[in-house]
Amino acid sequence: MQEIEKDRETLAGANLVDYGAERESFTWTAARALLDGLPAGGLNIAYEAVDRHVAHGRGDVVALRFLGDEGPGRELTYAELADETNRFANVLTGLGVAPGALMFGLSGRRPELYIAMLGALKARCGVSPLFSAFGPEPVRQRMERGHGQVLITTAAAYRQKVAPIRDELPDLHHVLLIGEGADAIDAPGVQPLAPLMESASGEFVIAPTDPEDTAFVHFTSGTTGMPKGAVHVHEAVVAHHVTGRLVLDLHPGDVYWCTADPGWVTGTSYGLVAPLTCGVTCIVDEAEFDAVRWYRILEEQRVTVWYTAPTALRMLMKAGPAAHAGRDLSGVRHVCSVGEPLNPEVVTWGDEELGLAIHDTWWQTETGAIMVANYAALPIRPGSMGRPVPGIDVRLVRHDDAGERVLEEDGSPVLVEEAGEEGELAIRAPWPSMMRAYLGAPERYAACFAGSEAASGKPLWYLSGDLARIDADGYVWFVGRGDDVIKSAGHLIGPFEVESVLMEHPAVAEAGVIGVPDPMVGEQVKAFVELKTGFEPSDGLRRELVALARRRLGSAVAPRQIDFLPHLPLTQSGKIMRRVLKARELGLPEGDLSTLGSTP
Ligand code: 6R9
């Protein structure tokens, strides 16, 4: 087994030097004790992330440094962030927004968005950040399901994505506009945020917060049906903080850069909550990916810890050595990756060309925090996602030949016992950042678990839907997804959402959407369309369908390719057999998709 050994000197002082001992002694109660809790009682993420540092005399440390897209950007110390987030909490309270309301965010990575998210948590409102690349349809789906009462967005995004669907969002009472032209929109409940912030007080006392109160709702896509809103509570901060230390290896004085957008769970859990609770300085780049710019940021900002994703790393690799020529990256102490399979070639490239060891980590929107990781002080096995985080029990559930979970009579899952045998990655419930519900979908939530401690005395397992193997040393290896969800450039895309929009076109009888392997973004979205009688395939119709999908879904979700087929494969009950489409696309015998993943 080829392992990447690291420079011992840079590891002096790293957390989790002795994995076995840490697992042995770890308790969630001790992890909770690393945080302060609210002076008034309870636990509030924003207090732990911001005010706690001010209370401990660290208010002068820079909390967030925004690098402007074109202009200079803005820096906020922990003390300034406390003041600004207090103001925002007062703005919400002043508008009559009650605790428990849900605020949506729809903008680029701007300071006001980050301030609003933390301020809303102080006011005990829930927060649901959306991708700014979403079209009106994904925005409507999510805001309708979440009954969003407040939206923070830009004038441009409001005009393009929200105004056309505003009538369908009866719960949306307040739209707070940030950025350019914020005072130029005259519509009910729409107003610029800046004047409200200016006149609000910078003093706010967070009321006692129940650790089980909703903090974030992150929407994620499944195989069937519309997106699910995974509900996360304030208690999750215990897992964010401890993984910030143990996995990201954050220490006071670190300059940390998470490249993810808050529209993706990574950009919130690890772009905001975990690093701020660790008291480090976070870099937020407002611009989109650019290889030369990224290397410059790593050097000029003296980034010490970097959390990024395989698509971005592959793009850096493709940009070649010229993009980092002359850059000194020796200040970067620790690099982690998440979201899609991290190819061993990328790990080797990082090691050999940049002198950086890239540590893969695995988790999901539903798990709220990192569950499996390679650690700073321990060797990396390229291609493996690493070992379970202390406090987290990961096992594999056996699947039968038809790909169905094998369960005991009492409903508890049959676990894989042999090292190297494939199974579905399962995590023993509960843990602090485990989702507490899918909004309005109790049966979909219940379907994520198997076993029942109460009924059988056996543990309850959360079932991730991912297939994996665990080797004899406990390293977890990703095999593939057990469902039809598509991962493109790190984004989860539900095929049903895309199919539904294509079906709106009068020429379309059936639509089937799959992910086809792509060397850069992992998977590309591809649609197969069966036309109604009387319609003929043509390039014009294809262009029309692509345009419809882009307009309604946005560029991040719309299919890149559309093929016409005379008939789509359907089950007896009329469901699209996406696996058959996928096997056909890849030239594999039908149903034989087992060779798709990476294995040890
Ligand atoms: C944080 C996040 C979750 C799905 C997950 C899996 C894939 C995540 C991975 C990985 C291979 C890794 N995934 N990390 N696949 N190696 N290190 O990504 O959340 O957007 O909900 O996606 O992403 O399939 O089930 P989310």
**DSSP notation for 299-341:** HHTT--EEEE-HHHHHHHHHH-GGGGTT---TT--EEEE-SS-
pLDDT tens figures, 420-454? 999 999 999 999 999 999 999 999 999 999 987 77
374 Cα to the center of ligand 1, angstroms: 15
* Tokens linked to 454: 């109460």
Can you tell me the distance from the alpha carbon of 517 to that of 194, in angstroms, rounded to the nearest whole number?
45
- C-alpha span between 31 and 235 (Å, rounded): 11
Q: What is the pLDDT of residue 600?
A: 32
pLDDT of residue 2: 74
For residue 597, is pLDDT > 50? no
Distances (CA, A) of 571 to 54, 515, 577, 579: 60, 20, 6, 11
570 three-class SS: strand
| Per-residue model confidence (pLDDT) at position 594 | 44
CA–centroid distance, 339 to ligand 1, in Å, is 4
Where do the DSSP E strands lie in 38-84? 62-67, 74-77
Q: What domains can you pick out in the chain, each with its CATH number?
A: 8-362 (3.40.50.12780), 393-481 (2.30.38.10), 486-586 (3.30.300.30)
pLDDT at 571: 81
Compute the mean pLDDT over every residue in the chain, rounded to the nearest whole number: 93
As given in the structure block, the two tokens for residue 66 are 């925004």
Q: Mind listing the pLDDT tens digit for each residue in 197-209?
A: 999 999 999 999 9
Instruction: Judge contact between 384 and 477, C-beta under 8 A.
Output: yes
Neighbour count for residue 437 (Cβ, 10 Å) = 18
pLDDT of 97 higher than 60: yes
Q: Which atom of ligand 1 is nearest to the CA of 337?
A: 17
Return the best residue to mutate from 265, 389, 434, 466 for the ligand 1 pocket (most ligand atoms within 8 A of CB). 466
Span 150-170, mean pLDDT? 96
Sheet holding 74-77, edge to edge: 74-77, 62-67, 281-285, 255-258, 305-308, 334-337, 358-362, 372-373, 387-388
| Position 592 pLDDT exceeds 70 | no
Please list the alpha-helical segments (H only) found in 213-252: 237-246
Q: How far apart are the first and last CA of the chain?
A: 9
Name the band, by pLDDT with cuts 50, 70 and 90, for residue 590.
low
Query: How far apart are the CA of 431 and the centre of ligand 1, in A?
Result: 18
**pLDDT in the model for residue 221:** 87
Q: According to the model, what pLDDT value does residue 595 have?
A: 41
Q: Which of 478, 491, 557 to mutate to test the pocket of ligand 1 (most atoms within 8 A of CB)?
A: 478
Please report which confidence band the pLDDT of residue 4 belongs to, taking 50, 70 and 90 as the band edges. Answer: confident
The closest alpha carbon to 486, from 561, 434, 546, 571, belongs to 561
The protein residue whose alpha carbon is closest to atom 19 in ligand 1 is: 364
Report CA(227)–ligand 1 centroid distance (Å). 16
Residue 239 C-alpha to ligand 1 middle, in angstroms? 17
How much is the pTM?
A: 0.94
Q: Is 80 exceeded by the pLDDT of residue 182? A: yes
List all residues whose CB is within 6 A of at least one atom of ligand 1: 220, 265-266, 338-342, 360-365, 385, 464, 466, 478, 481, 487, 492
Can you give the pLDDT at residue 68?
A: 94
Taking residues 150-175, report their average pLDDT.
97
The better pLDDT of the pair 244, 410 is held by 244
pLDDT at 8: 60
pLDDT of residue 536: 96
| Three-state DSSP string of 330-382 | CCCCEEEECCCCCCHHHHHHHHHHHCCCEEEEECCCCCCCCCEECCCCCCECC
Q: What is the pLDDT of residues 529-567, one digit of tens each?
A: 999 999 999 999 999 999 999 999 998 899 999 999 999
Residue 82: count of CB within 10 angstroms of its CB: 27
For residues 298-316, average pLDDT = 97
Q: How does residue 7 score in pLDDT terms, banded at 50, 70 and 90?
A: low
> With contact defined as beta carbons under 8 Å apart, do 46 and 78 qualify?
no
At 61-85, the pLDDT tens digits run 999 999 998 878 899 999 999 999 9
190-192 and 174-178 as β-strands: parallel, antiparallel, unpaired? parallel
CA of 86 to the centre of ligand 1 (A): 34
**pLDDT score of 596 more than 50:** no
Q: What is the pLDDT of residue 161?
A: 95
Q: Which of 220, 487, 491, 599 maximizes ligand 1 atoms within 8 Å of its Cβ, making it the mutation to test the pocket?
A: 487
Per-residue 3-state assignment (H helix, E strand, C coil) for 478-547: EEEECCCCEEECCEEECHHHHHHHHHCCCCEEEEEEEEEEECCCEEEEEEEEEECCCCCCCHHHHHHHHH
Taking residues 384-412, report their average pLDDT: 94
DSSP sequence for 169-188: -TT--EEEEESTTTT----T
How high is the pLDDT of residue 226?
Answer: 83
**Residue 498: what residue type?**
V
